[in-house]
């Protein structure tokens, strides 16, 4: 990072470009299906207006005080305007990381760099600190996540809110805090007079992290514990029986009706079915249908479902039913055994292969780099011994 900011060396640019390329290629496993559904899926989240998405982002911005909560259970907190996140996780950065970042700050303020290398590292610390403050600002309600007069910005906010921003900025902030904590402990380690502080600091941060992690993993089911008996007034069809928003369900889905009807069985209209078997996203059954007959299946209607049968299935089509469920329709009279299953597109499979190859290539680069560094050290040691003999 220092080379990029100060020296602009081509080597640094190449390494950053390589890192970005590998990150993109490894992420294709997720990116390709995500954009496939954004383009081809008819989901509830895509039917929301831009203003509604902005409202979601604004309501779910984190209150600054939540970043500093300590040993809070996973059922969240209620602070000021935090109704949108009061029933979710506390969104604390964690005091182990916060203390690590403070150690780095104190060392940089109270000590002077020992050499040019540490001066370069302190420049990196300044850059990381600035990015940390920026991401924290963007994750909170201090940033204006509501509507503006700039249509482009409204579209951007609407889009990133569907992938859980501004919450996800905390992931970036936590990563940057880890870097700052590492720099802080490193600056202590290179000063002989502070070695005792280093041991104590590592011990305290480790214990603190374990305690916070222990509270987290032992309270993650807090939201699932009822505080009172379920009542029809609070858990009914209109409230979707306490289910989450379900924004990635098909657009025609009524969550309350879906739960209330417990749509676990097929429903035939103008057709007869027998020997029905369901295994995950695959169903098979014997179909005897007249022209115009249909069978509503206990499967949500997503793209990439196909129908195949023991005889010609040209007269069978797949569509979406009244409640976002998958429907098989017979255009012509048909009597056959059919199978309806989800088939991942070829592009998904190719992206998986590319991601795996890229991951292997990334590990190989790391191993080759370590081997090169080790050989360079051996070479320098050999030259030093040779000069001593001379």
User: Which positions ≥6 away from 51 have C-beta within 8 Å?
Assistant: 147, 154
User: What pLDDT sits at residue 77?
Assistant: 46
pLDDT digits (tens, 9 = 90+) for 275-299: 999 888 899 999 998 888 999 888 8
pLDDT digits (tens, 9 = 90+) for 3-28: 455 555 677 778 888 888 999 999 99
Q: Is the pLDDT at 170 greater than 80, yes or no? A: yes
Averaged over 383-390, what is the pLDDT? 55
User: Which positions ≥6 away from 264 have C-beta within 8 Å?
Assistant: 298
275: left (phi over 0), alpha (psi -120 to 50) or beta: left
User: What pLDDT sits at residue 81?
Assistant: 46
Between 274 and 228, residue with greater pLDDT? 274
Q: Is the pLDDT at 357 greater than 90, yes or no? A: yes
Tokens of 68: 């500093």
pLDDT digits (tens, 9 = 90+) for 120-131: 888 889 999 999
Q: Is the pLDDT at 162 greater than 80, yes or no? A: no
Residue pair 300/250 in contact (Cβ under 8 Å)? The answer is: yes
Which CB contacts under 8 angstroms, 24+ apart, belong to 188-191? Answer: 188/103, 188/107, 190/114, 190/118, 191/111, 191/114
Name the band, by pLDDT with cuts 50, 70 and 90, for residue 176: very high
- The model's pTM is 0.65
Q: Tell me the pLDDT of the chain averaged across its residues.
A: 79
User: What pLDDT sits at residue 26?
Assistant: 93
Between 387 and 316, residue with greater pLDDT? 316
pLDDT digits (tens, 9 = 90+) for 67-94: 888 877 655 444 444 444 444 567 888 8
Q: Is the pLDDT at 383 greater than 70, yes or no? A: no
Between 376 and 128, residue with greater pLDDT? 128
């Amino acid at each position: 990072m220092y080379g990029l900011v100060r020296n602009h060396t081509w080597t640094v640019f190449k390494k950053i470009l390589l890192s970005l390329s590998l990150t993109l290629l490894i992420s294709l496993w997720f990116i390709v299906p995500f954009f496939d559904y954004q383009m081809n899926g008819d989901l509830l989240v895509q039917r929301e207006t831009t203003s509604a998405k902005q409202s979601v982002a604004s309501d779910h911005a984190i209150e600054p005080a939540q970043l500093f909560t300590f040993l809070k259970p996973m059922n969240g907190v209620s602070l000021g305007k935090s109704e949108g996140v009061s029933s979710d996780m506390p969104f604390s950065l964690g005091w182990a990381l916060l203390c690590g970042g403070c150690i780095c700050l104190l060392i940089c303020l109270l000590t002077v760099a020992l050499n040019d290398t540490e001066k370069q590292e302190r420049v990196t610390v300044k850059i990381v600190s600035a990015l940390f403050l920026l991401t924290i600002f963007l994750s909170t309600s201090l940033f204006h996540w509501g509507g503006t007069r700039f249509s482009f910005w409204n579209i951007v906010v609407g889009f990133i809110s569907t992938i859980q921003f501004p919450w996800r900025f905390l992931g970036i902030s936590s990563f940057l805090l880890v870097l700052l904590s590492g720099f802080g402990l490193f600056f202590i380690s290179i000063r002989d007079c502070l070695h005792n502080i280093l041991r104590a600091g590592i011990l305290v941060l480790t214990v603190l992290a374990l305690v916070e992690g222990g509270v987290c993993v032992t309270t993650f089911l807090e939201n699932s514990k009822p505080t009172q008996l379920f009542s029809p007034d609070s858990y009914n069809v209109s409230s979707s029986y306490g289910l989450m928003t379900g924004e990635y369900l098909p657009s025609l889905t009524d969550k309350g009706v879906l739960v209330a009807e417990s749509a676990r069985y097929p429903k035939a209209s103008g057709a007869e079915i027998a020997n029905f078997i369901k295994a995950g996203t695959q169903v098979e059954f014997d179909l005897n249908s007249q022209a115009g007959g249909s069978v509503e299946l206990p499967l949500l209607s997503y793209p990439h479902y196909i129908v195949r049968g023991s005889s010609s299935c040209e007269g069978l089509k797949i569509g979406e039913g009244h409640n976002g469920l998958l429907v098989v329709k017979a255009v012509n009279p048909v009597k056959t055994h059919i199978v309806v299953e989800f088939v991942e597109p070829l592009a998904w499979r190719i992206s998986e292969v590319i991601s795996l190859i890229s991951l292997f290539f990334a590990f190989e680069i790391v191993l080759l780099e370590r081997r090169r560094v080790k050989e360079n050290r051996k070479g320098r040691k050999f030259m030093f011994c040779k000069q001593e003999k001379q």
